[in-house]
Chains A and B, each alone.
Chain A
Amino acid sequence: MHAWLSFAVLALVLWGITGVTQKLSTNRISSERSFLWFCWAMVALSGIVLLLARPHSALGTVVVLCSIAGGALNGLGAWTSFRALESGGKASIVISLISLYPMLTVVLAVLLLHERLTPMQTAGVVTAITAAILLSLEPSAKAEP
């Protein structure tokens, strides 16, 4: 297995677990408070990360801006997705629609970073995005036995 794939799968597993821990949290406290403590944990983790990180003075401006923008984009994305639900969008449609976000990453990476996908990888990307959409759909009460 490629090294990058091992780490990608590790991220997938850890983020997958958070789907459950998040639910356990919001069953007990408000979603805003839960989100706040989520952020506090990120800050606490940064303390540990500081010991492991090797920041050097030669960090490029673009790189630093992209890293910071990453946190901001991710956080804002969470907020706008909430607004989509709040604005009357049906959850089953909104969540399925925003599951398409990796598609944009693929397009941008191909156009701007000149990444190339093999036919096998292209099939994998399409399958992955389809799978993510299907997994995000709530089973309807009617479909339940």
Chain B
Amino acid sequence: MNHKTRVENPCGYCPCVLRAGILGWCESAPVSEKKQFLFTPLWLLWSLVTIVLWGTWGLVSKIASTGVDAYVNQLLYTAGLLPLMVFVAWTVHKSKGREKSEGRRAGVFWAFLTGILGGVGNIAFFEAMVKGGDASVVAPVTALFPMVTVLLALVFLKERLGRTQWLGLGLAFVAIYLLSA
């Protein structure tokens, strides 16, 4: 029995350094029936694993920044990304032909630009660590990036913000002030 349905724009703006993955995927994510593993919902387990992976990323980035500059760090980071890239390339190859070609060039352009901006952002993140920023402060500051996305979406995509997002935006500015003191 196939219980798969499509998620209707479920993600909003995810605080993920590799936004291209989750933001993109979640918009077309097929949702299966709720499964459990050892009496724990699978979605909760995957969410917790995500926290562990991304949370640890902040730590290992700080350790790496003690011995390499931001540029070398970005090079090695990309090397670590390659296995996943191969897996995704295989997935794309498998689904070849099922995708409409309309607007593909523009889509590829925006994806490529996302990668360049994301990569330069990574270098800035690593540089913040190299310049002496503690992982315990740099990670929360950079995790505020949805504030920029929300502002841009508001101005350029004419999206509307909910009350919680306005509150989040205000708190983000307060947080930056507190962390910079």
**Of B12, B33, B89, B111, most A-chain CB atoms within 10 Å:** B111
Q: Mark A90-106, 1 if CB is under 8 A from B, else 0.
A: 11101101111111111
**Contact yes or no, B161 A139, CB < 8 A:** yes
**Contact yes or no, B174 A30, CB < 8 A:** no
| A: interface residue count bin | 35 or more
Q: In the complex, which residue of chain B has the Cβ closest to the Cβ of A45?
A: B119
Interface residues of B in 97-147 (CB under 8 A from A): 99, 102-104, 106-125, 127-129, 131-147
Residues of B within 8 Å of A30, CB to CB, are 28, 92, 95, 99
Residues of B within 8 Å of A69, CB to CB, are 60, 80
- In this complex, how many residues of chain B approach chain A with their Cβ under 8 Å: the count is 147
Q: Mark A43-71, 1 if CB is under 8 A from B, else 0.
A: 11110011011110001101110111111
**Contact yes or no, B84 A8, CB < 8 A:** no
**Of A15, A66, A100, most B-chain CB atoms within 10 Å:** A15
A residues apposed to B, CB below 8 Å: 1-46, 49-50, 52-55, 59-60, 62-64, 66-92, 94-95, 97-110, 112-113, 115, 117, 120-121, 123-125, 127-140, 143-145
B residues apposed to A, CB below 8 Å: 7, 9-35, 41-44, 46-64, 66-69, 71-85, 88-89, 91-92, 95, 99, 102-104, 106-125, 127-129, 131-153, 156-157, 160-165, 167-172, 174-181
Pairs A-B, 7 closest by C-beta atoms: A16-B148, A41-B115, A139-B162, A71-B80, A104-B55, A78-B21, A89-B43
